[in-house]
A and B are shown apart, each in its own frame.
Chain A
Amino acid sequence: MVMRIDCKGLYYRKQNKIIRNAAEEGETEFILDNANGQRYIGSGISKKIKITVNGVPGNDLAMFMNGPTIIVNANAQDGVANTMNAGELIVHGSAGDVIGYGMRGGKLYVQGNVGYRAGIHAKEYKKQVPIIIAGGVAGDFCGEYMAGGILVLLGLNRSEGEPIAGNYLGTGMHGGVIYIRGEVDEYTLGKEVSVLPLDSKDMKVLTKHLKEYCGHFGLDLDEIMAEPFIKLQPVSSRPYGSLYAY
């Protein structure tokens, strides 16, 4: 059974309560029509439910989420996948600022651009590795403080000369990896990261995730893989180790 909720004029607190209660009672699929800025959709839910959002969801979509799949058929706003633990988020549009903050598991696939501070302080633990892929470009402070996880920027549909990422890329990064399809200017990089070529292991990881990504958005994997990628990795897992006098 699919539960359809008309979100027009529906307060987020009531809407999320309906979803939580129905999920608790065994409902597995939800379609939210006319979503218009309702916050915290999917927040804190630990069941393997599927939510399709027709319309623009509000901030903190999928915050603390732990299992569900959410498909957004529009743009998403700020704080998508904030401190998310597990599950899958597919945004058929662009997403706002601070996406995937402190994310430690699950997948976040954005078709278009992402705002400032994407993937900030994402982390990983053993096999639990968060994956963020954005098809377009990212704003400043992308991957700042990143402690783990995989962040991919594809830079598709860019206008001529538009940079793929903003300034302070990977500042304070001390774990994880960023793959970028194209080049970045040296001056935009944080001093804690270095640019490396991809090895065969990287290509395997990248191909695996991009294959899935392309499946969601009807893109051609070979076409995407035809352009060269670069890899950004932290110089040290202890960037501030020598900052202090003991």
Chain B
Amino acid sequence: MKRDALSGRFPVSIITGFLGSGKTTLINRLLKRPDMNRVAVIVNEFGEQAIDNDLVEVSSEQMMLLNNGCLCCVLRGDLQETLRDLFVKRRNGDIIDFDRVVIETTGLADPAPVMQTLMTDDILAENYRMDCVVTLADAVNGVEQLDTMPEPVKQAALADRIVITKSDIAGEAATAALEARLRELNPQAPIKRAVNGEIELAFLIDVGLRNVKAKLEDIQKWMGEPDDDHGDDHGHDHGHAGRHAAGVSSFCLRFDQPMTWAAFSQTMEVLGALRGSDMLRVKGLVNVAEHAGPMVVQGVQHLFHPPVELAAWPTEDHNTRIVFITRNIPRATVENLFHAIGAVGKVA
């Protein structure tokens, strides 16, 4: 028996959000929840709305242990360093044995480098795994921010979960408009509204695949809400690439024939080399001729996580299915490349 290629790593949720979207409020609320026991939260600073003293069990300059068992740490140096430091401190017994990490990113942060860090840093990749990107969007200013700034678009496009904040202030019409806009950008990510930062932990965690024995519901949770072109090869683009300046579109490619790993990876390499920065996010299951179980693939821009074979297909449906979230890359371009390289339809 060998170690499971996915399990046993600390899951990491990344909380990102538009400027003024209430990230700090949400984090501060989250810190106090009873279900945060053994969660380490990395924050940018111990904010002004600091934690009530009577909630703090022990504290040092950089860390506070709250009486619900949640460890709150201030970002030190860069994130890579902070995550390594946390792991080493946990191993050395200097801090509680947390089993999950939540990261608050800075205001205009692009979550992609954070996600990539978890894949490329050997020590981090060995001990942590990307669980979920949560993006907060502010119902008062969200639509305008999406129309005028590139960062919020990317944050929304990369999200596994989206939380709309300030819906009580913005009113129903503005909130619905933002929600529609976000759905266009990223139809896979479930959206929830939070008032005053109130959100249950369950919405922010357990999205990524936890082990190779993943079942259908795990895969659906990870890949996102089912697309409506299920079962055929000719679905439409959700994002209507080109309509918005941002040009973000999302589509799911399905192939009913197995492909060779060489052809699949070559296709991805070509895409990565030519358009890596516009391949915002890729996740899917690939039916590889040489393998009995589906291969899990996931990438952020030009970087791909090492592929992992699941123990078995979750259902009778053995079609390859890959969700792409891209910027100015139409579905047809990607699909044609699969055909051109021969990934599709050329298995001996």
B is a partner of A: no
Where the two chains meet, the residues of B that have a C-beta atom closer than 8 Å to any C-beta of A are none
Where the two chains meet, the residues of A that have a C-beta atom closer than 8 Å to any C-beta of B are none
